[in-house]
Amino acid sequence: MAWEVPLPPADFTPPPICACCLAFAPRTLCVRAEPRRELWLGCCEDCAQHAARAGTHRIAVGIAATLSAVALAAGLPIVLPWQSLAVVIACTFGVGAFVLTLGAVLTRTPRGHAGLDRFVEARGALLVCASREYAAQLTEPGAAPPARRRTLSLERALEWGLLLGCAFALAPTSYLFHHPKLRVLNLTEEPFELLVDGRALGRVEPSSRESAFAGLELRVPAGRRLLEGAYADARPLLSSSAELRAGRHHLFAPQHGQVCFWLETVGYGREGARPEHTKLASLEEFWVLPDGLRGLFTESPVSGDDLRASGGKTRVLRQGSCDAPP
């Protein structure tokens, strides 16, 4: 809680008392107000010391909270790979908030003092004072008494802003990077249950035709994982030990038979040419897809005939017969 008064005129002489404890002030502190204007207000030696300690303490608490949040946001998706994103965000924000709250509790204002460090602060045409009595000393005779207001220091707002950024920006980014996408196709005639490291993650319906919505797409923790498929009667379909790479896209298609997958590259403008097809090869029915794909199991955008355009190339993943590209 603080008190605000209008900014005194340029010829105003501040009283020789401390802006915090109201004792005699043998020294002064500088408050920058309007452009090219400085106010030199009183501050005693004791208050100057506890203001310096409070400032250092606030910086240390802010750094500790930020480092804790960054470490949790970056490390939890790796240390606890099967925890949900909500748990990672909650832990990141909770630990950081605990550090900030504990730091605020341990920095109480000394008895007989109005504040910890910022005793007077200029905000536009107003002066915000921690002490009501000192604010009254800065008020001209006949003027309105100091007005009460709630304040939130810029440092405290920055601390909570960094914490929110770690919890709701860094944590999801880290989680999504360490939980890459996995597309699972069922090219058999019966639905099966997908299990990853023994955990049932979903039912995959049969889909023999090429479709951008075919199969099941989910995020799985990066690393060496055991991918398994099981029919409803507990008959095993296939198990594959696969290495999922962080930040990549993967494909798992057990028992795909005579169906193969092709990388289709199409050029546009001056780079236009007949589509190029490259077959994906694997011994375990599992693929780490290349970066830069513009689509899965969908046709490439139609290229125009304007040879004046510089153009470029696009690449998609297609599904078709193993004998000939789609």
Per-residue pLDDT tens over the stretch 211-263: 999 999 999 999 999 999 888 887 777 788 999 999 999 999 988 888 889 99
Q: Which amino acid is at 109?
A: T
Q: Which tokens in the block code for residue 305?
A: 């005939």
Tokens 């501050």 locate to: 43
Local structure of residue 174 (DSSP, 8 states): H
pLDDT grade for 192, boundaries at 50, 70 and 90: very high
pLDDT exceeds 60 at position 205: yes
Distance CA 318, CA 70 (A): 40
Would you state the pLDDT for residue 41?
Answer: 87
pLDDT exceeds 60 at position 309: no
3-class state of residue 116 by DSSP: coil
**Who wins on pLDDT, 236 or 189?**
189
Q: What pLDDT, in 10s, does the model give residues 7-24?
A: 888 778 888 899 889 899
Distance CA 6, CA 33 (A): 11
Would you state the pLDDT for residue 287?
Answer: 93
Would you state the pLDDT for residue 73?
Answer: 96
Q: Sign of the CA dihedral 107, 110, 113, 117? A: negative
Q: What's the whole-number mean pLDDT along residues 89-98?
A: 96
Would you state the pLDDT for residue 63?
Answer: 93
pLDDT exceeds 70 at position 157: yes
Q: Which tokens in the block code for residue 212?
A: 């951008």
Distance CA 226, CA 324 (A): 31
Distance CA 185, CA 29 (A): 71
Q: What pLDDT, in 10s, does the model give residues 279-306?
A: 888 667 899 999 989 889 988 876 555 5
